[in-house]
Amino acid sequence: MAQPHWAAAQLAGVEKMTRSVAVLGGGVGGLAAAHYLCRLGQPSRVVVVEASHRLGGWVSSTTYPDQVVFEHGPRTLRVTGNAGMNTLALAEDLGLADQVRGISSSHPSARNRMLMTLMMQVGGKLHKLPNSLKALFTKKPPFSKPLVASAVRDLMASKVINEDESLFSFVNRRFGPEVAKYAIDAMSRGIFAGNARELSVKSFARRLHDVEQKHGSVLLGLLKDRKNAAKTDSNLETRELVKRAKREKWSVWSVAGGLENFVKALEKNILENNVDIWKNVPVKRIVRNGEKLVLQTDKKDLEVDQVISCLPSNIMSSVIQPLSPKLSTLLSSIPYVTVGIVNLEYPGHLIEEPGFGYLVPSSEPNRVLGVIYDTCTFPQGDRTILTVMMGGYWFKEYFGNNPSHESLLDVAVSEVQQSLKIKIKPKRHHVEILRDCISQYVVGHSEVVCSARKLITDLKLPLALVGSSYDGVGVNDVIMSAKNAAFMENIFRGNYMFICYNLASLNPDIVRVRGVLLGEEFCVCRLSFDVMTNRRIGCCSPAIMTSIGGPNCSP
């Protein structure tokens, strides 16, 4: 076997002492981190410290007395990829299998998702964007040519060498202005509530960026580079819920009664595992005491061996300021946007063309980012429930600093009047302003995250950065980053000698052997036994190390 690229972590004997770990923030990231800390090793003392009176962070559902559910944050989770399968496996572990509701890829809400755009300037109506091979060869508004022409353009366009660039500029160069202006612009709004002209292609679609750099063309590169695509974790593929999702061809899923039930199941699980949960306790500062960290709050201080921060980076920036002004500055450079959301309920079934909803490109004179047809995906009796999302990157420009809830409601109601021809008044509504709810992975984001983690390593801080500010804004990515951090904590507990190999110098077949860590699965990670040191050896890819801030972190 090739020589290790570097060797890290404790070579000392297995530590028997109970380590204490503080998890900052009780959003889905914090709760998942606490769950995996308990699950992956001998339990340490784990304390989750949450500022508000409730857990879940942006995962938030209201259930009315008549059992009608409004989702205020995330509502569907992706199935695909290791992160998608991992969340399904977690749902199964939490005993939620019977409550999981999958949406098959042939369902109208899967086929007609994000692909409806309201183009006032090109017809002023909803356009279903192509969702079949045949449709790719057909000219359909708002595009002036069949989309296949954009593929040809990619094959012809010359390569531009760069470290990173905006999503818009990348797609404009490779696939043409219409794909950038309509599809990518709208998708950036439907995931980041952000501006495609500022978001980073490397952070959002790293593989597309990498294959262009390597092969010159994106489509050709994807074809040639198939074997380097992320391998699915075969351990996860054996999980019952994952198998069901594959069998029934789910594209997304949720939990009966709302996604907040997922968070409630996590809370129950970690309480059963003796995790302490402190609510209504905002962490103010972190200071150092020898090798330990001390969390300072208005109520009490907490000294721990390890901190897993699942706070948004802008809040962590002020919490970490006394300990490292440099780290604080790096974290404060990650921008956030505010989204206004309005849930609307109408009697009867009012959607003529069912789908997931529609997005409005930024070229439209419209303050609305998009509208989700909630009850097309998950029906709730004889009613139509819609969620209108507005503002995002443009929130201040469109609404000022502090718009009234009534003004947001007016915008939402007139939007659905115009686009969906729903003329009646909503029977029930809910308005919320989600301040700084989505971090923006702007050009250079991956360098900022990598520098922050490198600084933590250099300063030898027992600290991990987890959550939607760093390695992906979706719930699946947040849960995966929590799992990786818990995995590292287990390693630092001294249970493993941990070696990260340089993938390039290893036979890929050896590297891709799936590892089993205390019965837990990790992609591109393996364990073996070192007869010299009588110790289990963990080995994982630089990609995992990057996401958890290992020394050879390379963005």
Ligand X SMILES: C=Cc1c2[nH]c(c1C)Cc1[nH]c(c(CCC(=O)O)c1C)Cc1[nH]c(c(C)c1CCC(=O)O)Cc1[nH]c(c(C)c1C=C)C2
Q: Which of 90, 110, 255, 283 binds ligand FAD (CB under 6 A)?
A: 283
Site string for ligand X, 362-401 (x = CB under 6 A): -------xxxx----------------x------------
Binding mask 341-380 for ligand FAD (x = CB under 6 A): x---------------------------------------
370 binds, among ligand FAD, ligand X, none (CB under 5 to 8 A by kind): ligand X
34-68: b or e for each residue (b if 16 or more CB lie within 10 Å)? Answer: bbbbbbbbeebebbbbbbeeebbbbbbbeeeeeeb
Question: How many whole angstroms separate alpha carbon 319 and alpha carbon 46?
Answer: 20
User: What are the C-alpha distances in Å from 96 to residues 31, 242, 427?
Assistant: 16, 13, 32
Decide: is 27 part of the binding site for ligand FAD (CB under 6 A). yes
> How many other C-beta atoms are found inside a 10 Å radius of the C-beta of residue 134?
8
Nearer to ligand X, 94 or 118 (CB): 118
Residue of 211, 241, 315, 452 interacting with ligand FAD (CB under 6 A): 315
Nearer Cβ to ligand FAD (315/488): 315
CB closer to ligand X out of 412 and 438: 438
| Window 280-339: residues binding ligand X (CB under 6 A) | 339
* DSSP letter for each residue of 115-171: -EEEETTTTSEEEEPP-SHHHHTS--TT-SS-THHHHHHHHHSPP---S--BHHHHH
Q: What angle do CA 246, 248, 252 make, to 5 degrees?
A: 75
Q: How many residues bind ligand FAD (CB under 6 A)?
A: 37
On whether the CB atoms of residues 180 and 168 are closer than 8 A, the answer is: yes
DSSP 3-state percent helix, strand, coil across the chain (nearest 5): 40, 25, 35
Is residue 411 near ligand X by the rule CB under 6 A? no
Query: Which of 49, 497 has the CB closer to ligand FAD?
Result: 49
Q: Report yes or no: 439 and 336 within 8 Å, Cβ to Cβ.
A: yes
Neighbours of 510 (CB within 10 A): 12
**In the stretch 186-225, what mask flags binding to ligand X with x, by CB under 6 A?**
-x-xxx-x--------------------------------
- Residue of the chain from 88, 116, 126, 310 that contacts ligand FAD (CB under 6 A): 310
Q: How many CA atoms lie within 13 A of 449 on its CB side?
A: 33
Which residues in the 70-99 window bind ligand FAD by CB under 6 A? 73-77
Beta pairing class for 463-465 and 306-309: parallel
Q: Cα(first)–Cα(last) distance of the chain, in Å?
A: 26
Closer residue to ligand X (CB): 372 or 413: 372
Chain residues 42-71 in contact with ligand FAD, contact rule CB under 6 A: 49-52, 57-59
Minimum gap (Å) between residue 356 Cβ and ligand FAD? 10
236 binds ligand FAD (CB under 6 A): no
Residue numbers 129-188 binding ligand X by CB under 6 A: 187
Q: Are 34 and 25 in contact (CB under 8 A)?
A: no
> Tokens in use for 546?
């990057």
* Among positions 403, 467, 515, 550, the unique one binding ligand FAD when judged by CB under 6 A: 467
- C-beta closer to ligand FAD: residue 467 or 515: 467
* Choices 147-155, 472-480, 508-516, 527-535; region in contact with ligand X by CB under 6 A: 472-480
Do 270 and 276 meet the contact criterion of CB atoms below 8 Å apart?
Answer: no
Looking only at residues 238 through 257 of this chain, which bind ligand FAD when binding is defined by CB under 6 A? none
Q: Which amino acid is at 17?
A: M
One-letter amino acid at 135 equals A
Among 117, 217, 468, 484, binds ligand FAD (CB under 6 A): 468
B/e letters for 513-551, b = 16+ CB within 10 Å, e = fewer, are ebbebeebbbbbbbbeeeeeeebbbbbbbbebbbbbbbe
Partner touching 180 among ligand FAD, ligand X, none, CB below 5 to 8 Å by kind? none
Q: Rounded to the nearest whole angstrom, what is the least distance from the CB of residue 531 to ligand X in the complex?
A: 42
- How far, in whole angstroms, is CA 319 from its chain's centroid? 23
361 forms part of the interface with ligand X (CB under 6 A): no
Q: In 3-state terms, what secondary structure has residue 9?
A: coil
Interface contacts to ligand FAD, rule CB under 6 A: 24-30, 49-52, 57-59, 73-77, 282-283, 310-312, 315, 339, 341, 434, 437-438, 467-468, 473-476, 478
Interface contacts to ligand X, rule CB under 6 A: 76, 78, 113-114, 116, 187, 189-191, 193, 252, 339, 356-359, 369-372, 389, 438, 472-474, 476-477
